[in-house]
Structure 1
Amino acid sequence: MHRFSFLSLCVVGIVVVLFSGETRTAEAVTCDLSELSPCLAAITSSKPPSSTCCSKLTEQKPCFCQYLRNPTMKQFVDTPKAKRIATTCSVEYPQC
Structure 2
Amino acid sequence: MKTSYMVVYTIILVLVLAQQHVEVSAVTCSPAQLSPCVSAITSSTPPSKLCCSKIKEQRPCLCQYLKNPNLQKFINTPNARKVASTCGTPFPKC
TM-score, shorter chain, exceeding 0.5: yes
Match of 1:53 among 48, 51, 54: 51
| Structure 1 contact 9–43 (Cα < 8 Å) conserved | no
Deviation at 1:5, TM superposition (A): 2.6
Structure 2 residue runs without a partner (length 5+): 17-23
Match of 2:70 among 65, 69, 72: 72
Query: Aligned residue for 2:86?
Result: 88
**Structure 1 runs (4+) greater than 2 angstroms displaced:** 1-5, 7-11
Q: How large is the RMSD of aligned CA atoms in angstroms?
A: 2.5
| Structure 1 contact 35–56 (Cα < 8 Å) conserved | yes
Q: Describe the SS at the equivalent of 1:54.
A: helix
Question: Which of structures 1 and 2 has the larger relative contact order (alpha carbons within 8 angstroms, sep 6+)?
Answer: 1
Write the distance in 2 (CA, Å) between the matches of 1:77 and 1:38: 13
Structure 1 residue runs without a partner (length 5+): 12-24
- Assess, with a 3 A threshold, how the Cα gap between structure 1 residues 81 and 10 changes in structure 2: closer, same or farther: farther
**Structure of larger gyration radius:** 2
Number of aligned positions between the proteins: 83
- Assess, with a 3 A threshold, how the Cα gap between structure 1 residues 81 and 67 changes in structure 2: closer, same or farther: same
- TM-score between the two structures when normalised by the length of structure 2: 0.72
Higher strand share: 2
Percent pairwise identity: 48
- Assess, with a 3 A threshold, how the Cα gap between structure 1 residues 3 and 47 changes in structure 2: closer, same or farther: closer
- TM-score between the two structures when normalised by the length of structure 1: 0.71
| Structure 1 contact 58–91 (Cα < 8 Å) conserved | yes
